[in-house]
Structure 1
């Protein structure tokens, strides 16, 4: 029997992504997944000298989860500095629907890759497939990625070392789009609306305090966020993501989250979720935390909903200091 030919989508994704020598693909739950792994420079030097790298079993692996309509490019300022400062390996990946990761057009019953539950299991499986299954995970996540990382902590608490949440999309009532809204966005007319809106407005500047403060916004940053819109099946998969989006019951499980060290960062000008909402969510989780659990809430000035883009150095400093305080 001859092997099945790769799909046109896979061939195109691999061709476009090949321009970045650091990017790699791995199959996770049948989905070709684009990712990067960064190791400390001290380890790189040992590799170049053909010396063995001693595994440090007590060190976690750091997993970065981007926002909806983002991709792993959003962590461009953070991966290597995080690895160097902590001595940990750092993984970032394009979540299904986004970036250069494959967008399935069909799936077996009960294996819909576009649900929040599937996103939780997908992230854990990625870490396992990359060879880090025996390590705990220190998660750094922004916006919608924050909800997924909290879902991982609730379902697999023994796997999670800590949570660094950047403006996580968690509301006190754990509400998502109303069912009628999900139905409309998941329909053919809704898909046309999504295509017209995103083509014109992505990146969504409302998410930022001031895009002019971001170096190379027009020449590099904005185009990099827009490229995935041109790739096969983006609008179909995004409409499915909206159709099947049912929020995870996160705050109902705050007693589990509160057992895990949490750094919670909010911008003072978050127009998507106001800083007061972020503070309410944090206080709700922290209210059930044991006395010895590390819980920190940070507000970054002149910053919107995507702190890693607008204030990368401040965010990086906060994350490094927090992780080092845990004796990582």
Structure 2
């Protein structure tokens, strides 16, 4: 299915659980900077079945089968997604409660949204390897990704998921993060405005960020915040440690989610 908003078509899929525990609630998945609906793979269905909640995944414009966008992207592209497009996506969803789950760029978008213009139905935020500031380790890994993409292997792999959007998806992300001015990118100012429960998850071996990220998130969040550091896990937490991640999310909603 697609959600059409202001001339943009957003590829969307709803994953339903085997049995409902929270029939009027849903997780909304916000993908990483190279992600899309299909790249979540088995995680959304597993999350739905484990928690008894619908899981809504959508591809932002420029990704997957969604509408293309122009590149280069503005350095404020995550702010635009959080404050302009995400509110419209959420407004189209007919649930009483929503919980944001964002990976990498998607996690940063979730934090900006929750700390600035949060939909009143949001009951919690879960970030997976989110960034609240740039770090040298992140830049180094993104530079390495650029080299691999230009050699062709990564492009071929991503093209299976993004189709005609593959270059838009990659260069829109890569050029922004490697822009000299992006080293000063920082969204910590939004954290005190997050009043809903928050869980910040990171892999111990994350190649795109240090534990300074989850420490900063939980130190400055305006409400309850739980840091979770998963061992033997890199940046793609939902692929490296799906069972552990779903267990952590299940524990989180058992504390904070109500029917």
Question: Could you say whether these structures have the same fold, taking a TM-score greater than 0.5 normalized by the shorter chain as the test?
Answer: yes
Match of 2:197 among 261, 268, 271: 261
TM-score where L is the length of structure 1: 0.63
Matches within 5 A, 1:66-85: 66-85=31-50
Q: Deviations over 1:43-92 (max 9, x none)?
A: 6xxxxxxxxxxx95xx4321001111122233333322332343322101
RMSD (Å) for aligned C-alpha atoms: 3.4
Q: CA deviation at 1:142?
A: 0.8
Equivalent pair of 1:74/1:309 in contact (CA under 8 Å): no
Q: What is aligned with 1:301?
A: 231
Equivalent pair of 1:307/1:315 in contact (CA under 8 Å): yes
Match of 2:154 among 166, 190, 202: 202
SS at the partner of 1:152?
helix
Given the alignment of the two structures, is residue 86 of structure 1 paired with residue 55 of structure 2, yes or no?
no
Q: CA deviation at 1:148?
A: 0.5
Max radius of gyration: which structure?
A: 1
Q: What is aligned with 1:227?
A: 160
Q: Pick closer, same or farther for the CA change 1:93–1:170 going to 2, 3 Å.
A: same
SS at the partner of 1:64?
strand
Structure (1 or 2) with the greater strand fraction? 2
Match of 2:123 among 138, 141, 161: 161
SS at the partner of 1:302?
coil
Give, in whole Å, the separation in 2 of the partners of 1:73 and 1:197: 20
Q: Which runs of 5+ in 2 are unaligned?
A: none
Q: Pick closer, same or farther for the CA change 1:198–1:138 going to 2, 3 Å.
A: farther
Q: Pick closer, same or farther for the CA change 1:73–1:236 going to 2, 3 Å.
A: closer
Q: What is aligned with 2:90?
A: 127
Q: CA deviation at 1:149?
A: 0.6
Equivalent pair of 1:267/1:307 in contact (CA under 8 Å): yes
Equivalent pair of 1:97/1:103 in contact (CA under 8 Å): yes
TM-score where L is the length of structure 2: 0.78
Match of 1:280 among 201, 215, 219: 215
Q: Pick closer, same or farther for the CA change 1:226–1:30 going to 2, 3 Å.
A: same
Give, in whole Å, the separation in 1 of the partners of 2:53 and 2:253: 11
